[in-house]
Amino acid sequence: MRPFDYSRATDPADAARAAGQGATIIAGGTNLLDLMKLEVMSPDKLVDINRLDLHQVTTTEQGGLRIGALVTNSDLAAHPEVRRNHAVLSRALLAGASGQLRNKATTGGNLCQRTRCYYFYDTSTPCNKREPGSGCSAKEGFNRIHAILGASDACIATHPSDMAVALRALGAEVEILGQDGGYRTIGLETFYRLPGDTPERDNTLEPGDVITAVILPAPMADARHVYRKVRDRASYAFALVSVAAVGRLKNGKIDDIALAFGGVAHMPWRDTAVEDLLRGQAPSEDLFSKAADSLLAEAQTYGGNDFKVPLMRRTLIAVLKDICGLGDTA
C-alpha cells in the first residue's frame, strides 16, 4: 500500500470540499482498502466521514424512509421498519457478504463498491475500467461471472451489490451533496451508468459529490417481497444471478409488480417492459415464460457465461411463482 494523507471530515460540506480537492472518501472501507492493498486504486488523500451525522433511519412525510449514508448494512437489515415494509431490502442485505463485513459496510459505500471482475483486480492484465484504453481481458478470457445485458465492447463487468438490486426494485433515490453546497436527489437508474466507451465511470457522481442518504418511497401496500440470489456457495459469494421482486395480486391478477436483477449487468438492472407485460394479467407458466423471454431478448453471452441465460430464466420464473403464491420451484 502506498503512502497517503488522511483527514477526518467535520461535516458533509467539509467532506465535499476535501473530495473536490481530490480526496477519496472512506467510510467502512470494506472494498476500498482491498483495492488500495492491490494497488488497483492508489489515492493520495483519504477523507474519513465516519463522524458525520449520517447514521439514522427516519420516516419521511410521504411515508417512506430516509436512510443515512453511514447506516451499516447490519443495522439496516435489522431495522424494524425495513423488515416490516421493505423486506426485500433486508433479505438482500442478509444475502450479501459476511456478518463481520455487514457490521462495517455502509449504505453509501455499498452503492459505490466496484466490480469483482478478476481482471479488474489483476493489475498485470488489460482492463478498461482500471486503465482506460488498455482493453477488456474478460471478453476472451474467463468470463463466467460477467454481464449478459447492457455490456459494451469496452467492458462486460457486473455490479456486485445485493443491496442496490433491492433498492432498484423499491424505486430508491440517492441524496447527494455537491461541493457547491447544493443537494440533489436522483434515482438509481440515473445514479448508475452503463459502460459504453467509458467503463472507468461506475456512476454519475462528480468530483466533490458526497452521498448523504438513500430515500425510499412509501411502500407498495399489501405486497409480497422476494429476494433470490443464485451463487456458487451458500454464503459470502457474489450473485451469479439475482432477482428482487415486490408485487401484489388483486382479483386473481397481478395488480402491480417491480422487478430488479443482479449479476447480469454493469448496474442493478430493471426492465419496465417486463413489469408492464405482467400487470393486469392472471399468473400462469406461459405468462412467466413470456416475461423471461422479454427480459432476455437482447442478452449477449461470451462463452463462459452462456449458462446465465437459462439460469436467469429459471430464477425469474421461480420468483414470479413465489410472488403470486404458486409455489417455489427452486
User: Per-residue pLDDT tens for 256-269?
Assistant: 999 999 999 999 99
Crossing angle of the two packed helices 285-295 and 308-323, in degrees rounded to 10: 140
Q: Using CA atoms, how far apart are residues 166 and 268, in angstroms rounded to an integer?
A: 9
Instruction: State the average pLDDT for the chain.
Output: 96
Question: Does residue 330 surpass a pLDDT of 90?
Answer: no
User: Per-residue pLDDT tens for 88-146?
Assistant: 999 999 999 888 999 999 999 999 999 999 999 999 999 999 999 999 999 999 999 99
**More confident of the two residues 236 and 284:** 284
Q: Using CA atoms, how far apart are residues 216 and 197, in angstroms rounded to an integer?
A: 31
Question: Does residue 329 surpass a pLDDT of 50?
Answer: no
Concatenating the DSSP letter of every residue in 104-150 gives H-BHHHHHHPPP--HHHH-TTS-BTTTSTTS-BTTTTS--TT--SSS
Residue with cell 452521498: 211
pLDDT band at 328 (very low <50, low <70, confident <90, very high): low
Q: Using CA atoms, how far apart are residues 33 and 220, in angstroms rounded to an integer?
A: 38
pLDDT at 1: 74
CB atoms within 10 A of CB 175: 20
CB-based burial label for 130 (10 Å; 0-12, 13-18, 19+): buried
